[in-house]
Structure formats: structure tokens, C-alpha cells
Amino acid sequence: MDNHSYIISASLQLVPIVSGIKHPYVWIDDVIGIIQDSGIRYEVGPFSTSIEADYKSVMQLIDKINNFLAAQKCPEWVLQVQLQLRAEADMTSDEKTVQYRD
């Protein structure tokens, strides 16, 4: 997918599987901070964070999140990723949700 230069829509949900080390929300807040610092367009929701960028940037962000969690000694986690792509056009979150906004 190195040649895919269009914007994709993605959703990331971190589920830390921890006991007693840190409250799960601390891990989640740290990951949201990484997303914020990435410069990628994002929207934090109650269950996941929606992002949109080119495919390569999204994959690099996912790699950065996993490397961070490993470096911080998070004992175990599930990072649920959903991707929506188009072969020859951008796919944005706004396009999918504009009809439902007030």
C-alpha cells in the first residue's frame, strides 16, 4: 500500500489489559496525546478515536502507539483498528457523518 496516497478514515480503540499498575484511562490518555502530537486530524469519542490521514501516516501512528506502550511496560493491550479506504479517492469522516449533524 505504499502507493496509496489518498486520505483514509480510521478508528483506533485501545483496551489496556492491566491490573494495579496504572488505571486504564492513564494509558488511553497517553495514547490520545500521541495522536494529538502526530498532526493527524482526529476526533476523540467515548469508545474510540477517529483519525484521517494518508495510509502510510496512519500505519506509522499505529506503530508509534505500540512502540510507546511496549517501552512504557504496559503488560498487555488490545489495539482495535478499523480502516476504510477507497482505491482512487479520499475517504473522510465528515463525508460519512455530515447528514447526522445538527
Topology (CATH level 3) of domain 7-100 = Alpha-Beta Plaits (3.30.70)
For the segment 32-47, the average pLDDT, to the nearest whole number, is 98
What does pTM read for this prediction?
0.91
Question: Residue 32: helix, strand or coil by DSSP?
Answer: helix
Q: How many residues does the chain have?
A: 102
Q: Which three cell numbers stand for residue 56?
A: 502510510
For the segment 46-66, the average pLDDT, to the nearest whole number, is 98
Do 96 and 9 touch, CB atoms closer than 8 A?
A: yes
pLDDT band at 100 (very low <50, low <70, confident <90, very high): confident
What is the reported pLDDT for 26?
Answer: 95
What is the reported pLDDT for 22?
Answer: 87
Tell me the CA distances in angstroms from 84 to 55, 73, 87, 94, one per residue in order. 10, 31, 10, 13
The domain limits of the chain are 7-100
Report the C-alpha gap between 54 and 60 in whole angstroms. 10
> Locate cell 490518555: which residue?
29
Of the two residues 91 and 3, the one the predictor is more confident about is: 91
